[in-house]
Amino acid sequence: MTARLHLQRAQDMRKEPTKAEAALWKELKSKKLGIKIRQQHLIDNSLVDFVCLSKRLVIDVDGEIHETRKIRML
């Protein structure tokens, strides 16, 4: 997948997060913790749910979408 397609996918996923991602983002956004958190961020060829670049922290939220992907991969 090209970088352009990854970026488009990230934008799409920000618009339609899973329930778990939406709940966590509500608490993480707007620097409520005193650090900047990015949502659906591209790192190399991986799209991570949340990242704090200054702390080198990545958060991936498992949810229903991951179960669907596991089934498709089998």
pLDDT at 73 over 70: no
Give the closest residue to 63 by CA, choosing from 53, 51, 47, 49. 49
For residues 36 and 17, give the distance between their C-alpha atoms in angstroms, rounded to a whole number.
19
- pLDDT level of residue 63 (50, 70, 90 thresholds): low
- pLDDT level of residue 37 (50, 70, 90 thresholds): very high
All structural domains of the chain with their residue ranges = 3-73
